[in-house]
Chain A
Amino acid sequence: MTSLRSRRALPGIAAAFIMALAAAPLAAQTTTVTASDPWVREVPAGRATTGMFVLLKNAGPTERRVLSGKADVGDTLELHEMKRDNGMMRMSPVPAIVVPANGEVDLRPGGFHLMLFGLKKPLAVGDTVRATLTLDDGSEVRLVAPVRAMRMP
């Protein structure tokens, strides 16, 4: 009886252990990274590319890295950087964007930003884009970004 019970219990314990492991990334979703003021630049008919911008803040003591993302409006979301280099403006995809511990990174025109490719339709002011960024700890940051016109003060 006893031996039978323990033999039966073993798979159960193993399953619970595996479930706990599987749940670990979920638990990490109480991420310390939050998004504020997300927006997407409007896109005219005939264009399939735009930029997405957001301020990411990290309230935790550990640096986090944005590794990838996806958006509901396009095929591809990529992490890009624009920088001045010897009088040239260089745009390039980057493998990750760091959100410093107890700090923030401002994804905005002129620096790090998110690029959306393969847009299926124009985006006008008033539209909303939903996107998800995936961090290096497996957690996700969700964005609900209004479409804006680019305006200078």
Chain B
Amino acid sequence: MRSRPAILRAATLAVLVTGAAGCARTESPGMDFALTDHNGAPFTLQSQRGKALLVFFGYTMCPDVCPTTLSKLATVTRRLGDKAGGVRTLYITVDPERDTPEVLKADLSLFTLDAVGLTGTRAEVDAVAKQFGATYEIVPTPQSAAKYSVSHSTTLYLLDQEGRLRQTFPYEATVDEVTAGVQAVLTGATPNS
């Protein structure tokens, strides 16, 4: 019984240390990965240096979480006004078999948003999800016309201009909260802690 709180304390300490390292701007390297964009062109995260990035994982077959998030981010963009040019959205599918570049492009066409749809091989997508700590699960639904659904984590990730993770938002985060986070990154303010 006594060992349990000790383990919890150790875990808390580890998180704090990691968090502190993440805040040390000069020491933490930016992330990178390679996928295919919604025009079918090769994409690297490295190519986005200089922009604040809002990154989320989803899939287009269930038109709920992803349109809601894209819609929310379109509103964030409007709120940012003339600062909106400093931020870009990356929409990474966890259903690459169905979400071809064409499908992603069609979906993005509905939103007034500077967004890149990203897909790739299953292995490529898995590697990127792992970098972010995003998770998903293919769930067979033989009773449905969709054949399978994809359960997935819905965290929204905010990266700074050097590709460093600065903040995460739950699905329920409001437009105000996301806008404030992006503004902090755009103005070079210290990350929320």
Contacts A46-B102, A46-B106, A47-B106: A109 and B64 contacting too (C-beta < 8 A)?
yes
Contact A78-B145, Cβ < 8 Å, known A90-B151, A109-B64, A152-B175: yes
In contact, B72 and A152 (Cβ under 8 angstroms): yes
Q: State the majority secondary structure of interface residues on B.
A: mixed
Q: Name, among B62, B63, B109, B151, the residue most crowded by chain A CB atoms within 10 Å (CB to CB).
A: B63
User: How distant is A42 from chain B, measured CB to nearest CB, in Å?
Assistant: 6
Chain B interface residue number, banded: 35 or more
Question: For the complex, would chain A's binding face be called helix, strand, loop or mixed by DSSP majority?
Answer: strand
Q: Which residues of A contact B102 (CB under 8 A)?
A: 46
With contact pairs A47-B103, A89-B154, A90-B139 given, residues A75 and B109 touching in the complex (Cβ less than 8 Å): no
Asked if B64 and A51 sit within 8 Å, CB to CB, the answer is yes
Of A2-10, A11-19, A25-33, A110-118, the one contacting chain B is A110-118
**CB <8 Å contact, B71 and A150:** yes
Contact present for B171 and A89 (CB under 8 Å): yes
Q: Is B87 an interface residue (CB 8 A)?
A: no
Complex: A78 Cα to B109 Cα, angstroms: 26
A-facing residues in B60-84 (Cβ within 8 Å):
60-65, 67-68, 70-72, 74-75
Closest beta carbon of chain A to B40's beta carbon, Å: 14
Give bound CA distance, A76 to B136, whole Å.
26
Question: Is residue B32 within 8 Å, beta carbon to beta carbon, of the partner chain?
Answer: no
In the assembled complex, the Cα of A75 lies from the Cα of B146 at a distance in Å of 12
Which residue of chain A is the closest to B143 with respect to CB atoms?
Answer: A93
Alpha-carbon distance A50/B106, docked complex (angstroms): 13
Interface residues of chain A, those whose CB is within 8 Å of chain B, are 41-47, 49-51, 75-76, 78, 80, 82, 84-85, 87-93, 109-110, 113, 115, 117-118, 149-153
B192 at the interface (CB under 8 A from A): no
Contacts A78-B144, A152-B72 given; indicate if A89 touches B151 (C-beta within 8 A).
yes
Residues in chain A near residue B141, CB distance under 8 A: 92-93
The residues of A that contact B68 with a CB separation of less than 8 Å are: 109-110, 150, 152
Q: A109-B64, A109-B68 are in contact. Are A49 and B107 (CB under 8 A)?
A: no
* 10 additional A-B residue pairs with CB within 8 Å, beyond A50-B63, A151-B71: A44-B106, A47-B106, A49-B63, A87-B155, A88-B151, A91-B65, A91-B149, A92-B149, A93-B143, A109-B64
Nearest residue in B to A122 (C-beta to C-beta)?
B106
Once the chains bind, are B110 and A42 in contact (CB under 8 Å)?
yes
A80 to B149, CA, bound (A): 11
Q: How far is the CB of B135 from chain A (nearest CB, A)?
A: 7
Residue from B137, B146, B154, B155 within 8 A of A49 (CB atoms): B146
Asked whether B151 lies within 8 Å of A117 as measured between CB atoms, the reply is: no
6 sample A-B contacts, Cβ–Cβ < 8 Å, listed by A number: A47-B107, A93-B144, A118-B145, A150-B68, A150-B70, A150-B110
Neighbouring B residues of A46 by C-beta, 8 Å: 102-103, 105-106
Look across to chain B and name the residue whose beta carbon is closest to the beta carbon of A40.
B63
Closest residue of chain A to B146, judged by CB?
A117
Give chain B interface residues in 28-64, CB to chain A under 8 Å. 60-64
